[in-house]
Amino acid sequence: MNHYSWVLSGAEAFALYDLLPESCIFEGDQGLWHVDYYCPLEHPLDDNFLSKHPGFQFNILPDQDWVVQSALATPPVVVGQFYVHTPDYPPSTEHALTLCVSATTAFGSGHHATTQGCLQLIQDIWATGGWNKALDFGCGSGILALAMNGLNPGSAVGMDNDGDAVAVARDHAHKNRYPTAFIHGDALPQGLEFDCIVANVYGPILMDLAPTFSCASHVVLSGILQVQMDDVLQVYTPLGWVLEKAIHTDEWVSLWLKK
């Protein structure tokens, strides 16, 4: 197994995120990001790619069951009422809402700052009156749609333009016994109206989506670097959105906007 690792700033890690396969691991620590990518010995990273992204360390690792090792290296996460764990850890009897999310290629294990920010803001919205119909836009593993259905059963659906992510999300819904519809697509479902939309994607994409979210009274926006926050708000504020709360974690920010 080939192991490549970088220590980068948030902006540098964000740029690398779009270039490496989804199986790479990103972890933030005191403003720096540790990026790890594991791949088979017969498929090393291209020398041209590495020359453009220097400063990496390289190791050859012994053969192991890396899915199991990855799962064991991701302990449960607690965000308010939510307890998120992999199948390798037991559920909690001390938290109101337990979600079991497998280690897969779909984004959203609960460990990334952007996912945790969304989980907290979803609870904040629910505490102030909640929603009738919610959408998890760019659902990945489906964790946020499942979380919203945990608070308000049957109220949330998810969608993603990645068919593999939709399949993973449906599997998580089945295993967690939270009946949730997941749609394969890249635009808001026709004929459905949502008063709450959660989108954990990227800052530039969120700016493009602003007009299509106008039907909602609450939006949670995440996947935003701190340096992108003002740019995102400058797009949403003229459309009538008001910043209710921002959660800052390392290089990332999650926003709750309301009308």
Segment 131-179, tens digit of pLDDT = 999 999 999 999 999 999 999 999 999 999 999 899 999 999 999 999 9
**Same structural domain, 119 and 217:** yes
72 lies in some domain: no
**Same structural domain, 125 and 252:** yes
If one counts the domains in the chain, the total is: 2
**Same structural domain, 117 and 54:** no
**Same structural domain, 250 and 187:** yes
* CA atoms of 36 and 14, how far apart (whole Å): 13
Q: Residue 43 above 90 pLDDT?
A: no
Q: Residue 18 above 80 pLDDT?
A: no
**Same structural domain, 48 and 173:** no
pLDDT for 194 equals: 96
pLDDT for 220 equals: 98
pLDDT for 158 equals: 97
**Same structural domain, 45 and 116:** no
Given pLDDT bands bounded at 50, 70 and 90, which one contains residue 213?
A: very high
Q: Residue 23 above 70 pLDDT?
A: no
Predicted TM-score (pTM) above 0.85: no
Segment 167-188, tens digit of pLDDT = 999 999 999 999 999 999 988 8
182 lies in some domain: yes
More confident residue, 3 or 28: 3
Residue range(s) defining the domain that contains residue 177: 112-258
pLDDT for 188 equals: 87
CB atoms within 10 A of CB 103: 20
pLDDT for 197 equals: 98
Q: DSSP string covering the chain, please?
A: -EEEEEEEEHHHHHHHHTTS-TT-EEEEETTEEEEEEEE-TTSPPPHHHHHHS-S-EEEEPPP--HHHHHHHTS--EEETTEEEE-TTSPPPSSSSEEEE----SSS--S-SHHHHHHHHHHHHHHHTT--SSEEEET-TTSHHHHHHHHHSTT-EEEEES-HHHHHHHHHHHHHHT---EEEE-SSPPTT---SEEEEES-HHHHHHHGGGGTT-SEEEEEEEEGGGHHHHHHHHGGGT-EEEEEEEETTEEEEEEE-
pLDDT for 148 equals: 97
Average pLDDT score over the chain: 88
88 lies in some domain: no
